[in-house]
Amino acid sequence: MKRAHSMLIYSRGEEIRGAVPELTTMIGLAAGVLTTSCWAPQIVRSYRTRSTGDISWAYVGALGAGVVLWLSYGTITGDVALIAANIATVLALGSLIFLKGRYDRQHAANPPGRIGAVLLDMDGTLVDSDAAVERAWREWAREFDVDHATIEPVMHGSPSDTTIRLVAPAMTTTEVEVAARRQLELQYDDVGDIVLARGGRQLLQRLAATGLPWAVVTSADCRLARARLDAAGVRPPVLVTVDDVSAGKPDPEGFLLAARRLGVPIDRCLVVEDSAPGAEAGRRAGAVVAGLRGLPADVPVDDLAEVAALLPAA
């Protein structure tokens, strides 16, 4: 009887010891899921506000160290569920670190108190006119027997005559003028699908609320600029077109003229661009440049809502 009783105790002990790791795994898994879910609202809030100023790097570092220790423990013990849970936490923390690094760099490069005016490119920046621009160049290429593939990489950002000289260098000055007029004619009435670019409404609302001076500086002529801005429902306080300058982008003349008209020093202006010629013009003028669509610039931004987040609060 004693022998049987001892075996029974041993058997129950094995059951208890076998259940403890399972319980530890469930607790670790629950802790990882809860930690990850706690960070989800912060990640969403940081993305929406384009700011992580309420989180210090010291806090992120301490939390990261704790997560790495938990992950190491799970690896040493071979606890797959614990490892998976902490990997999920690492991914959430990594997303937050990425956002914090991005938005901290944006604000450091252009702190809100430093911005005295905003100078916006039009096509592809303030208004979404890419489809219209591409239709016009495609038809122009067909009419003038130019390979559209040579136009595609340079069709955005520069005045029509500058682009034509690049893709058709054999044209005379008179031929370039005729070809440039035709290219613009193809665009004047093609405004049916022109709309504000993503984040444009938030940016215009922020500009109106703060009273911050702003202007549109475009490589389009006045007629085309007015047509597209009217189609998008935008009336800028100052509009500088290719008609106002002796040289278009990448020459800085347009941005310098806009800054003078606004009465703001160019080094306190934030230029917002989506093309390499425009970004070059902004840098040569002496402004801080925000670049859309992955354009290399002082301040990389995904859309105009991120530009709005850089501006002083109302």
Q: Choose, from 54, 79, 104, 123, the residue flagged as catalytic.
A: 123
What phi-psi label fits residue 86: left (phi over 0), alpha (psi between -120 and 50 degrees) or beta? Answer: alpha
221 given a catalytic annotation: no
Cβ neighbors of 104 (< 8 A, separation 6 or more) are: 52
Please tell me the distance from the alpha carbon of residue 18 to that of residue 124, in angstroms, as a whole number: 63
Q: Give yes or no for a contact between 272 and 263, defined as CB atoms under 8 angstroms apart.
A: no
Q: Choose, from 121, 128, 161, 274, the residue flagged as catalytic.
A: 121
Q: How far is CA 308 from CA 177, 201, 252, in A?
A: 38, 10, 24
251 given a catalytic annotation: no
Burial class, 66, CB count within 10 angstroms (exposed 0-12 / middle 13-18 / buried 19+): middle
Question: What is the CB neighbour count within 10 angstroms for residue 248?
Answer: 24
How long is the chain? 314
Amino acid identity at 14: E
Nearest of 154, 152, 101, 156 to residue 128 by alpha carbon: 156
Catalytically active residues are 121, 123
